Amino acid sequence: MHPRATPAGHRRIGSDAVTDHDDLLAMIRSNAVVPGDVILSSGQRASWYVDLRQILLAGRAAPLAGRVMLEATADLCYDAVGGLTLGADPVATAMMHAAAAHGRILDAFVVRKVEKAHGLQRRIEGPEVTGRRVLAVEDTSTTGTSVLTAVDALREAGADVVGVAVIVDRGARAHVTARGLAYRAAYEVADLAPGVS
């Protein structure tokens, strides 16, 4: 590498290289970690909530999230990405757009919670997934239930699910890997803030 060149995902600021990963983490810490007693989608209680929609639907942060997730899953081979609506939708579209910005074609898809009762009655919306290598994603996961529901629907549709990826892992890793799936997380709970668990 040329001495002044900067690796992909990094940029030079003075003598320090700041990565997309660092930038996104700072945004999550400042805009998405919300203290308070909450019930998570898993049914578990927590003393804080990570509202990644504040990041994934923000014009400045979404491209960062897409690049970070592409980097976190760079060792996996897939050509379509998505998961159970709603948590997966902005993750998948951020990745699709980030890939396009680098000349890569990456399709996105949406897995409905239940099959649509009208129209074409599809459970999975978007480009066809049958026979394709796909990555199931989620914004954050505590038990893996949502993303594994998507995995089951994708396999039923004939997709080859190469793995699962989340922006923030709150404890789903063991549940997902127990199903024989590769698991990638851009961040762990301990990354978000001191004392957060």
Q: Tens of pLDDT along 125-139?
A: 999 999 999 999 999
DSSP state of 51: -
Helix (H, G, I), strand (E, B), or coil: what is residue 8? coil
Provide the angle, in degrees to the nearest 10, between the axes of the packed helices 62-72 and 89-101: 80
- For 69-116, how does the pLDDT look when each residue is reduced to its tens digit (9 = 90+)? 999 999 999 999 999 999 999 999 999 999 999 999 999 999 999 876
How confident is the prediction for the chain on average, in pLDDT? 88
- Which CATH architecture does the domain made up of 63-192 adopt? 3-Layer(aba) Sandwich (3.40)
Min mean pLDDT across 33-42, 132-141, 149-158, 167-176 is at 33-42
Mean pLDDT calculated for residue range 4-10: 40
Name the residue among 165, 166, 109 with its Cα closest to residue 132. Answer: 109
> pTM here?
0.86
| 42 exposure class (CB count in 10 Å sphere: 0-12, 13-18, 19+) | middle
